Amino acid sequence: MKRTKSALRHIVAIGGAMSKAGASAPLLIQYSLSLSKKKKPRILGLSTATGDAQSSELWFYKLCANLQCSPSHISLFARTPTDLAAQVMASDVVFVGGGNTKSMLAVWREYGLDQILRSAYDGGVIMTGSSAGGICWFEGCLTDSWADSYTSLPALGFLKGSCCPHYDGEVGRKDTYYGKIQSGELADGYALDEAAGIHFVNETATCAITASKGASAY
């Protein structure tokens, strides 16, 4: 399935820890689903950042169970399907879960999934995700892919600038992100609290969303 360039391109970047949103967590997914303007949109889950852990896939399907959508997923750590592009292009929404951002991006690039996602995004497929799935769309991001440290990482570059997830949820995030921006290691960007996100339309931040009281985007 081939998509032509869409007049509207959407990314909903979420800061992570959707479990902290409790029963409100599905609202963050529903927000992205509603952008498709379809009664039962097709949502594709990518849990590459956890090595396609079964627990991640089950969580995704459980999250979608009470929403008006048709969920499916792609696994890159089992027998990888040969029709990756067709599956992505046939989706209305792509949801990317959290985990190891560095490993996720490396696997995507090996399979050419980064370019497939770019084509799908340009064609109007709505991109969203939490934690690793929230920061991967930017030029750069702050990640804890390496144990016991926060490092900067080049990402997909769909959106200009950088992004930091878990802004209010992990010790050292704020100071490290600010420091890396001040030093020029990361470009100016966006910081996302747990269970909070930003909706970008045609690469421009349009509004913040949240499913947890007190959560903010910056």
Residue 55 falls in the annotated catalytic set: no
**Residue among 47, 166, 199, 212 flagged as catalytic:** 166
Q: 54-64 vs 25-34: helix axis angle to the nearest 10? A: 70
> Residue 162: which residues within 8 A CB-CB, separation 6 or more?
138, 139, 140, 141, 142, 152, 181, 186, 187, 188, 189, 190
- 164's enclosing H/E stretch is strand 159-164
State the CB neighbour count (10 A cutoff) for residue 22. 10
Question: Does 131 qualify as catalytic in the annotation?
Answer: yes
| Edge-to-edge strand ranges of the sheet holding 93-96 | 70-74, 42-46, 93-96, 126-130, 10-14, 196-201, 204-210
| Catalytic member of 56, 91, 131, 162 | 131
Distance, CA of 218 to CA of 15 (rounded, Å)? 11
Helix (H) or strand (E) holding 56: helix 54-64
Residue 123 to residue 197: CA distance in whole angstroms? 22
φ, ψ of residue 55 to 5 degrees: the values are -60, -35
Active site residues: 131, 166
